Structure 1
Amino acid sequence: MKRMFLFSIIVLLTSVFYFDFYQKGPDIDAESYILINANTGETLYGKHEDQPFAAASMSKLMTEYLVLKSITEGRLDWDDRVVMSEHAANSMGVKIDVPAGAMLTVRDLFTSMVVASANNAAIVLAEAVGGSEENFTALMNEKARDFGLSRHTRFVNATGLPTVSNEENIMTARDVSKLAVKLIGEYPEVLETTQLTFYQLAYDGSVVYSTNRMLNKNNPSLWFEGVDGLKTGFTDRAGYCFTGTVERNGKRYISVVMGTEETEKRFIETRKLFAYGFNEPNIPSIKTIVKQYVSR
């Protein structure tokens, strides 16, 4: 009898949970977020999506766009070799382990930037496209206006790192989602790179690993079927951020989560958004369900 009673309580709580999830929408623990249908541009869910926040390395999506544009227009080639400048080699944060003066292919640099979020790779590519990171940043802001991004969006560098004067790239979640749509729409081949879990550099055979933990099938708490990108980000000011994209049966969603407090939290919250988009149960543990509703 006691077991039957407990089972009934669990079924009831689970039913209430799913009603909340689909009728009210998921409870997302982030400063700002948005979920859009990339095929139609429709916003499905969001909070503070038009408020500006530090974008951290998610702003590398614009760097990716401009590099791919240069390659498409014939001004750069995947096999071109580019010198690692002192400026790039001395950058902070995540980097590939190569010294100033090293010669790397555009493919090595681009893939390291996309997969591992290597800041020195992003700077070298910015210098190759714009002549200097400063000139490249001007191109980033010009393209943001061309895309119709809001007045809030402003780039100060190609990486998303804080500057010496403590400025950072600023974007809204909606603007990041629009940028992601542009990137994937015009250069869908970028998804061949964003879905890589690791990459071996031709330069020296070293391996870099993806910062996107939603790609790892061996981690079922974060993995989500159909995820094939897109870009993580972190600074002290921005918190842990993630622009994700998922495609199933021709339907593609893009999500942006900004300002979470833990590295895995950005992926957990993204998973909730994607589950909501596909009407798929984002099943929590029974312990979580009971704890949530007992505390009400």
Structure 2
Amino acid sequence: MPAPKKTARRSLLVTSAVLSSLALAAPAAVAAPSPSGSPSVSPSGSPSATPPASMSSVGGARLGQPGTQVNLASGVPVLPKDVSARSWIVADAESGDVLAAHNAHWRLAPASTLKMLFADTLLPKFPSTAEHKVAPSDLAGIGPGSSMVGIKEDETYTVRDLWLGVFLQSGNDAVRVLSAMNKGVENTVKEMNEHAEELQALDTHVVSPDGYDAEGQVSSAYDLTLIARSGLQKKDFREYASTVTAKFPGETKKGKKGKPVRKPFEIRNTNRLLSGDSDVPVYQGIAGVKNGNTTNAGATFTGVAERNGKVLLVTVMNPEKDEHNAVYKETARLLDWGFKAAGKVQPVGELVPPRSAAQAGAQPGANPSGEAGGSGNGAGGTAGTGAKPVASAPAANGASGIGIALGITGGVLVLLAGGAFLVNRRWPLPDLVRRRTRP
């Protein structure tokens, strides 16, 4: 499906950096050899060791070509050579420009990055303060070896608790409970597929809402980036995705004098660029989004980060390098490149808006996608066209809001409420949550 023209955005949202980029002479296109490796699953369930010769053209014809797509010109930094992922993409979260990509539309198993679509679909349905008592049937069908946050039958949890379990611990048990609240897994899968189609994430097919390996379940680096961008329109999505640690309700037990006691326990975000690890430092400017890892998918990750007023999205799928935390290391290298290349490199494609936004894109100030709202957490409003970003202001640690960071080795992450931005087809990205490390 061809990408919609970007005349509206180009006429209204051209910055000096983009102007200087467009003033360059026509760049040379670079196509690198496609990676090889173990087979992946296609929609039909058949294995595929290499990307198809022809893939989807959503976002531009270059994105449907196999291999690396990037425009080289004077002053454009060279892409990092030590990126082994089967598929990846670097995009400007605000303008929608795809700065570089590698097999962007290759349909691969997404693992738990699919939970971004689950969240983007269900978050608006339940207020964060709503409570749900877990029935045994709520936890039925969880696959063996699933990541779990530790939900117990007959215990009551708030919706906020459940979403923290989804985002921080990638809990398939939390996904199943929220799905049960949403009229069941089958209905949830149906709605996720419908939402993917609305987002023009046409490489994506959902079989299991938690991303657990299932025949025919696929997505692509392009689609996961689209989905993340849509999710970031929601205040609660941004805050959950950027939360480092949280307290999760434990099991009710008898305390002293026989009184019931329910002690919480700490959960920590498994996104290593956000929480850090022995061989991966917290990435400067990281603000989420979601990681995943299954036998079939390998490691997958979509991250969003901000530096010097630029907000980038990077998705990396299945690094072939046998290295601990390879998916995070390769994402960090691509983010580093993106921040250096932004404003210098001509894009090879774009992140398209949702279908409803594209259809109504000519209406000034319109937000037809309806994606800016939250799920009852007081999501920020939408700025009309012509709105200017407001100054960022830190929120104090210890505040009750979700996503306020606790202390982290190497620096303190501070929650910054960014301004309202105009993105592709006047589709606003309000109050982007940003995180920075400070020395």
Mapped contact 2:90–2:315 kept (Cα < 8 A): yes
User: Where does residue 273 of structure 1 map in the other structure?
Assistant: 334
Alignment gaps of 5+ in structure 1: 1-18, 281-296
Mapped contact 1:242–1:257 kept (Cα < 8 A): yes
Higher-helix-fraction structure: 1
- Give the TM-score of the pair, scaled to structure 1: 0.78
User: Where does residue 183 of structure 1 map in the other structure?
Assistant: 231
How far is 1:238 from its partner? 0.4
CA distance in 2, matches of 1:44, 1:148: 19
Percentage identity across aligned positions? 26
User: Where does residue 29 of structure 1 map in the other structure?
Assistant: 84
Count how many residue pairs are aligned between Structure 1 and Structure 2.
252
Mapped contact 2:192–2:206 kept (Cα < 8 A): yes
CA distance in 1, matches of 2:76, 2:169: 33
Given the superposition, is the C-alpha separation of residues 168 and 197 from structure 1 closer, same or farther in structure 2, using an over 3 Å criterion? Answer: farther
CA distance in 2, matches of 1:272, 1:158: 30
Given the superposition, is the C-alpha separation of residues 168 and 95 from structure 1 closer, same or farther in structure 2, using an over 3 Å criterion? Answer: farther
Q: What is the CA RMSD across the aligned residues, in angstroms?
A: 2.3
- Give the TM-score of the pair, scaled to structure 2: 0.54
Mapped contact 1:56–1:168 kept (Cα < 8 A): no
User: Where does residue 186 of structure 2 map in the other structure?
Assistant: 134
How far is 1:99 from its partner? 2.6
CA distance in 1, matches of 2:222, 2:131: 35
User: Where does residue 81 of structure 1 map in the other structure?
Assistant: 132
How far is 1:83 from its partner? 1.6
What letter corresponds to residue 268 of structure 2 in structure 1?
Y
Is 2:269 the counterpart of 1:210? yes
CA distance in 2, matches of 1:193, 1:106: 12
Give the secondary-structure state (helix, strand or coil) at the position aligned to 2:108.
strand
Question: Which of 66, 69, 88 is the aligned partner of 2:121?
Answer: 66
Alignment gaps of 5+ in structure 2: 1-73, 251-262, 342-439
Question: Which of 97, 105, 110 is the aligned partner of 1:42?
Answer: 97
What letter corresponds to residue 282 of structure 2 in structure 1?
W
Question: Which of 104, 107, 111 is the aligned partner of 1:52?
Answer: 107
Mapped contact 2:111–2:297 kept (Cα < 8 A): yes
Given the superposition, is the C-alpha separation of residues 84 and 96 from structure 1 closer, same or farther in structure 2, using an over 3 Å criterion? Answer: farther
Mapped contact 1:33–1:258 kept (Cα < 8 A): yes
Question: Which of 196, 201, 220 is the aligned partner of 1:149?
Answer: 201
How far is 1:188 from its partner? 3.2
Question: Which of 126, 146, 151 is the aligned partner of 1:98?
Answer: 151
After TM superposition, the runs of 4+ consecutive aligned structure 1 residues lying more than 6 A away are none
Give the secondary-structure state (helix, strand or coil) at the position aligned to 1:50.
coil
